[in-house]
Structures are given as C-alpha cells and as structure tokens.
Chain A
Amino acid sequence: MSTLETISETHNSTGTWTEEGGVFWHNDPGLNVREVAKAMNAVGARFITITAYQLPKDEGFRLEYHWDLAGRLLGFVFALPGNSVESGKVESIYDLCEAVDWIEREVHEGFGIDFKGREYEPLLLRTGDLPGVNTRDAAAPAKSSPGLPGREEVAR
C-alpha cells in the first residue's frame, strides 16, 4: 500500500489522488479539514500553507491546504459556498497543528473567513479594529474612486 493510500485510509476517505500543477491533490468532496490534519500528523507531514481563493459572484471561497510529505506536495481542497457570514466559516486546525496559527490569521484578515474554535489576537497584518476585512478591495478596488484607480484601470 502506498503512502497516499495509507493517508486516505487514515481519514476514512475513498477519494483518489491526481497529480496536477506540481501538487498531489486528494479528490474527495466529503473531506473534513480536521480529519485531514489528524491524518497528516499521523504520517509526519509538515504543514505548509492555506491558499484562499475568492470565487466569482456568490460562489463563496475555496481553500487549498498544502502539506509536505518527504518532499512531495499534497493538496486538499475545501469549498465554502455562498456569500453569507455563516457560509464563510471552517473549522480551525490550530489545536492540531501549531504551524497553522499565522496562516489562519492571515486568511481571516485577507478574506474574512472565520476559523471556528480558535481565538484571534489583534490583527496580524494591519492596524485597525475591523477583523475579517477583505484586503483584496483595499489593494485594488474593482471600481475606481476619486484619487484611487480601479482594478481594470491599473491593469491598462
């Protein structure tokens, strides 16, 4: 049994593995983020990062969790559909993996995603008192305003 199959078995998943874009992706829509973290800890994988994507319109967010296992990059995708405050929530794995602390805080601040089951210290990346503000609009707003060019204008 290969290591990847062992991982699937550890968190009771029937999903398959595919290699794409330099990552071994685990395809299972029923994945649980905490079960994955426990399985990764069991095989001695190292947590790398979470990449968050804001999807168009009201499709919500996609989170990609990356782990390293002996030089092999493993990826797990979690969808957070919808655009409500409640839909932008996912369980924290901070208690299972200390290395995730600043990464979760960064995603929380940048995309307004709430990691349930953990407390946040004051904002990590910016000053202010508005947690969960999407910095995407602050960096390059979709529409221009007086003195501030919009995303399309900057691209031109």
Chain B
Amino acid sequence: MSYKIPMGPYHPALEEPYKLDMICDGETVCDAKLHIGFNFRGIEHLAETRNYIQVIALMERVCGICSFIHTLTLCQAMEKLTGLEPPPRAQYIRVIMAELERLHSHVLWAGIAAKLMGFKTMFMTCFELREKVMDVLQAISGNRVNYSMNRVGGVNRDIDDPLSLIPVIDALEREMARTVIPIFTSSRTALSRCAGIGVLTHEKAISCGVVGPVARASGVRQDLRRDAPYAAYQEMQFEVPVQPGGDVKARLLVRALEILESCKILRQALTRIPAGEHFAGDGKFNFISGTATARVEAPRGEVMYSVSWKEHARNPSRVHVRTPTFVNMPAVRYMVMGARLADAPLIQASIDPCYSCTDR
C-alpha cells in the first residue's frame, strides 16, 4: 500500500521553507511533488519602485549566500544600458569576491551535507574553514553577508594589499586537500550515504535544464566562466570539474574540486591584479532606453538578470531574475524516485537549494 509522507515546509533538514510530498511504497519513494512559495516576496515587482542605487541594495537581499553574485549580475546588465565599462582592477576585484563567495558557499554546503550524513565532526571542520573565508570577505568589504561591493561601473571598495590574502587561500586549500576531500571521498560513512544515491542521469539533467554543479555532476560540461566569460575570467586559467555519476557523491566531488579551482583562480587574480581605479566615471551617467541581460556563474549555477529601463527614468521598468535553484529544484523529483525515504533529506540538500533565491 502506498502512502504520502510530507517533508517540510518546516523540517530539521531544511533551513528554509519548502515542501516535498513523497508517495512511498514501504521505505521506497515512488514519486514526489515539490511545493515552494512559502516566503514569496515579490522582489522583482518591488524593484520597479527603487532607483538605480536602491535597486542594487534590494537585489543584494535576494540571497544571503550569493548576495555578491546578484549585484554583480544586476550591475553588469545596468552597465550595458549606461555604457560604463568597469576598469580592469574592478574586474579583478569582482573575480576575487565571486570566487571567495563560491568558496564560502561550497564549504558551507559541505558542512550541511556532513551534518545530514550524521558526520558532525566534519560539519565543525567545514564551518571552521568557512569562517576563515568569511573573515577575508569581511576584511575586504567590511561586511559578512551583504557586502555592498558592486556599483554601476565598478566596485565600491579597493583591496589595499591583495598579496596578504594569499596565505589564507593557501591554508584553506591545504586543509581541503589534506582533510576534507579525502574524508568525503574515502570514508565509509560518507560513501555509504552518498555513492549511488539520488542519481540524476545525463539525459534527465539535459532535459530538466539543470545548471551549475548539479549539471556538471551529471556529466554536462557547462560553466559560464568558460563558455561566456565575464569580469576578468577570460584571463584566468582553470579547469571545469565534471563527474559522470549523477549521484550525491558526484555532486559532492564536483564542489570539492571546484573549491580547489577557486583557490587557483584566487591566487592568479590576487597576484596579477592591475593597478588603477576601481570604478569608472564620476558617478554621473544616463540610462538608454532598452533591455539588457547579464549572466553569471553563481556557486549554484547560472544566474540571469534581464533589466529594462527607459531613458532618464530613475527606476527600472522591469527586473527579471532567473536563479539557479529555480531550475535545479524540479529535478529533485527524479533524484528521489526509487530512493530510500531516509535518504531524501540528503538528496534534496545535494542540489544545494536556496529557497531565498527561489522565493525571490
């Protein structure tokens, strides 16, 4: 006899509200339905009531983890409508901030995944590492969550001594390579919870249009930093980790390898950052009428902003945001089908969902 098990909207495995109604046969999940929108905020429409300074602060609050990425994408779209080109130093600072944000997001996720596996020591280790990244972000921006770094035409703050940050990156990379990655990839606890669990096949990943590490863990070689480079990414040498497995282990491995690649990018950006101004112009600019679109590879995958403006208007006439979780979430249905009920919390967490982004 089949029965329905609801998980959420308030559940120990979920930091934010969403609901997964699972149809089970015994311990096996046969099908699932997802429900979102418990905290829908109407931010896109609210953005139409904000001017070109206020809208940056508003969109920074779409997500608490990748707040920099949201303002970066928005500012890149706004720059296309104003004709302001950020100077090279600003482009490098944007890469540094984006990669630090990726590091802290991936390490945070590794910690939460460890907790869901029942591996609390690893949770503490990951959060200690994340704290070091947060310290660097705070040292650069003065903030721990909403960094207020981006502006139209560049960034608000310079990095005074970029080379002083390299030892922190070295230490983080050493700890990841020496402790976190080997334990996640070889310990019996981690493998028994991750290997062969929550599989999203390559075909289904393409059909669902999933993005970011979820796509790359299903063998889809896709990364905007390489496919459509922005900021200073065209000057960086890095690999795009891809795993064919499609299971929780593959998603874990992709993020772990991306942490190492982020360290590689950070080291290049910090040593090669060019001298000069960190923003263009004198703060005065005009918008042309039209629509501009920008895309950025966030820690969870592609973020896209479409911004529409009328000439001389203070406010945008439309801001549309396509967040990565919004396209990755429907794939959870296929990941949990056939899985054990007890694995469902870890499987849904393996896409690194952000309901704040989804309920924007």
Contacts and interface: CB of A to CB of B under 8 A. Distances in A.
B292 A21 contact: yes
B359 interface: yes
B45 A73 contact: no
B202 interface: no
A66 interface: yes
B37 A21 contact: no
A122 B295 CA distance: 30
A21 B207 contact: no
A22 B294 contact: yes
A36 to B, nearest CB: 16
Given A22-B293, A49-B320, A73-B295, A140 B224 contact: no
B248 interface: no
Contacts of A140: 42, 45-46, 48-49
Interface in A119-156: 121-127, 135-136, 138-140, 151, 154-155
B136 interface: no
Given A99-B207, A140-B48, A49 B228 contact: no
Interface residues of B, number: 44
A101 interface: yes
Contacts of A72: 228
A136 B37 contact: no
Contacts of A97: 209
Interface in B199-216: 206-209
Interface string B310-327: 000011001010100011
Interface in B342-360: 359
A1 to B, nearest CB: 22
Interface of B: 33, 35-37, 40, 42, 44-46, 48-51, 77, 80-81, 206-209, 222, 224, 227-228, 290-295, 302, 304, 306, 308, 314-315, 318, 320, 322, 326-327, 329-330, 359
Interface of A: 20-23, 46-49, 51-53, 64, 66, 70-73, 75, 97-99, 101-103, 106, 110, 121-127, 135-136, 138-140, 151, 154-155
